Structure 1
């Protein structure tokens, strides 16, 4: 049985889901971000108990099929962004269609209606979030980041960064670095 879980973002979430399933004496569990898979089907009462435990951890079972599709699209995009394979020339719509094994126009329309943003814009925003993290926290140069995230060029990365954030990447780094140096008021 596949279970889809909302708000999973880190290893602690995976551990929390696994712990809740173990409490229910569910065996053969595979837990990943956004989903859990177990060999046996859970009863309705087990699902209710599981959801109650997950809610206490800030997580929630997703029961609506459309929400599962949205979650799968987001997971596929995260996987594409963080993939070490050479996906530079891959078409996003083609990738999503293959990954989800479904009709892209349907998925795209569903995603846009639910999230208020197109899949393409969501993909760009997620890439820019990773750029911010790598630029600020890891101290990588824009050239290193553009190579790592498979941008066609540094200028392409810079243009997308400015469109999404409103400032260029180096100015963004200066702003965030300087704000860390200013002590907060007590």
Structure 2
């Protein structure tokens, strides 16, 4: 049986959800970002306990196909950004279309309706958070960051970063780690 879990956006989330499942005695066959594969059908009591335990930690079991699909989209995009291997000519529509075997227009409309922002905005916000992470840890130059995240130039990265955060990358770097956002909480600032 497969269960979809909202807000699983990193490897630590996967670990925490696995621990909750084991505590509820639902030993999972597999725990991936956003999904859990169980070997057995849980009882209603186990599901209620699991749901309560997950909610206490900021997770939520999804039961609506629309929300499940949106969560899959978010997880794919977060994983793509976190990999740091986005090519300059990366196509969001091609990537999601191939990954989910659906038309991009349908995915885009659905995502916007549920999340209140476009897929492109969400993807940019994730990339900006990754830029923040790399700036704080000071392991890569801006040129290397731009290359790894598929920006055509440092100027393009800097312009997008400033548009989203209100700061240049160098100004942000001076401020430090206090201004980063959890990946599941990244939103457009108005």
Q: TM-score, normalised by structure 2?
A: 0.82
Residue 85 to residue 147, structure 1, CA distance change in 2 (3 Å)? closer
Residue 137 to residue 3, structure 1, CA distance change in 2 (3 Å)? same
Residue 86 to residue 135, structure 1, CA distance change in 2 (3 Å)? closer
Q: Given that residues 82 and 149 in structure 1 are in contact (C-alpha distance below 8 angstroms), is that contact kept between their aligned partners in structure 2? A: no
- RMSD between superposed Cα atoms in Å: 2.3
Who wins on radius of gyration, i.e. which is larger?
1
Residue 88 to residue 82, structure 1, CA distance change in 2 (3 Å)? farther
SS at match of 2:123: helix
Counterpart in 1 of 2:67? Answer: 67
SS at match of 2:37: strand
Counterpart in 1 of 2:4? Answer: 4
Residue 170 of structure 2 is aligned to residue 170 of structure 1? yes
Specify every segment of 5 or more residues in structure 1 that has no aligned partner in the other structure, as ranges.
Answer: 181-186
Q: Give the 4+ runs in structure 1 shifted more than 6 A.
A: none
Counterpart in 2 of 1:184? Answer: none
Give me the whole-angstrom Cα distance separating, in 1, the residues matched to 2:13 and 2:168.
34
Give me the whole-angstrom Cα distance separating, in 1, the residues matched to 2:84 and 2:15.
25
How many correspondences in the alignment? 178
Counterpart in 2 of 1:81? Answer: 81
Q: Given that residues 85 and 148 in structure 2 are in contact (C-alpha distance below 8 angstroms), is that contact kept between their aligned partners in structure 1? A: no
SS at match of 1:5: strand
Deviates more, 1:8-17 or 1:48-57: 8-17
Counterpart in 1 of 2:145? Answer: 145
Counterpart in 1 of 2:118? Answer: 118
Q: Which structure's relative contact order is higher, taking Cα pairs within 8 Å and 6+ residues apart?
A: 2
Give me the whole-angstrom Cα distance separating, in 2, the residues matched to 1:171 and 1:57.
34
SS at match of 1:61: strand
Specify every segment of 5 or more residues in structure 2 that has no aligned partner in the other structure, as ranges.
Answer: 180-190
| Structure 1 residue 24 displacement after superposition | 4.1
Counterpart in 2 of 1:183? Answer: none
Give me the whole-angstrom Cα distance separating, in 2, the residues matched to 1:73 and 1:142.
28
